[in-house]
Structure 1
Amino acid sequence: MTISEKVAYLKGLAEGLAIDTEKSKEGKLISVMIGILEEIGLSIEDLEENTVALGEEIDALSDDLSEVEEAVFEEDDEDEDDDCCCEDDFFETECPNCGETLVIDASVLEEGVIQCPSCKEKFALDLSDECCDDGCDCGCGCEHDHDEE
């Protein structure tokens, strides 16, 4: 039984007792209390309806968000599967003088001469001799699987 139904039952009991709500102080009090209970019952029903509606909206938003996450993170997963650095703007190489690992921008590679920031020595990087362990000719020096290409 809902609160509104309980309040209606209480109101029916009060009417069945034939309480004088106009002359009796107790009757007036009971009548006002029942009126307040009716308003509270209606408010609670409205809140319950709003809660159900909000729950449905949250479920719909959650489903939409799941679809967006799947689309966004699936693209990231596809990027992670491609281990080739050939398309990156940065390359790693080792300084032949000091052995320091250098991260080189692709635009620096076009100049042909690299200056090591550690030992300050300049050296030329010949990409034509470098290839991956699997024999690819990309010249990137990485160890990746080109079977996906």
Structure 2
Amino acid sequence: MTISEKVAYLKGLAEGLNIDTEKSKEGKLISVMIGILEEIGMSIEDLEENTVALGEEIDAISDDLSDVEKVVFDEDDEDEDDECCCDEDDDFFEVECPNCKETLVIDEDVLESGVIQCPSCKEKFALDLSDDCCCEDDEDECGCGCHHDHE
């Protein structure tokens, strides 16, 4: 039984008792209290309906967000498969510290300087880019944009 149904039952019970709501002070009080209970019951029902509607909208948004995440993260997964220093679109590179084996992300300026200080172990190490190039080393410059000389 819902709150509105209980209030309707209470109102019917009060009417069945023939309580005088015009002359009796107690009758007026009971009548006003029943009116307030009716308003509270309707407000609660409205809140429950809004809660259900909001829950449905949240579910729809969650589904949409899941679709967006799938598209965004699937594209990232494809990019990770194509790890190559020859990719001109990459502004950052991953390098492993030879001392602590921490993976570091560096930009092109640090890459060109050739020396890195690991933020984890504070050791400095030089970069050897000769093994990292995916291009054939037939020519003096590979033309891939890596900006290094082949041996």
TM-score by length of 1: 0.64
Question: Is contact 1:11-1:34 (8 Å) kept?
Answer: yes
How has the CA–CA distance of structure 1 residues 16 and 71 changed in structure 2, closer, same or farther, with 3 Å as cutoff? same
The aligned counterpart of 1:98 is none
**Per-residue displacement from partner, 1:122-141 (whole Å, max 9, x unpaired)?**
xxxxx9xx5669x851757x
SS in 2 for 1:45: helix
**Per-residue displacement from partner, 1:88-145 (whole Å, max 9, x unpaired)?**
45689xxxxxxxxx612xxxxxxxxxx7789xxxxxxxx9xx5669x851757x9xxx
How has the CA–CA distance of structure 1 residues 34 and 117 changed in structure 2, closer, same or farther, with 3 Å as cutoff? closer
The aligned counterpart of 1:103 is 111
Rg: which structure is higher? 1
Question: Is contact 2:85-2:132 (8 Å) kept?
Answer: no
Q: Distance in 2 between matches of 1:117 and 1:50?
A: 61
The aligned counterpart of 1:137 is 136
Q: Distance in 2 between matches of 1:25 and 1:85?
A: 90
How has the CA–CA distance of structure 1 residues 117 and 75 changed in structure 2, closer, same or farther, with 3 Å as cutoff? closer
How has the CA–CA distance of structure 1 residues 85 and 7 changed in structure 2, closer, same or farther, with 3 Å as cutoff? same
The aligned counterpart of 1:21 is 21
- Aligned length in residues: 111
Amino acid of the structure 1 residue aligned with 2:51: T
Q: Percent identity?
A: 77
TM-score by length of 2: 0.63
Unaligned runs of 5+ in 2: 95-109, 117-128, 147-151
Question: Is contact 2:22-2:28 (8 Å) kept?
Answer: yes
Alignment of 1:12-91 (within 5 A): 12-88=12-88
Q: Distance in 2 between matches of 1:57 and 1:117?
A: 53
SS in 1 for 2:111: strand
Q: Distance in 1 between matches of 2:36 and 2:81?
A: 65
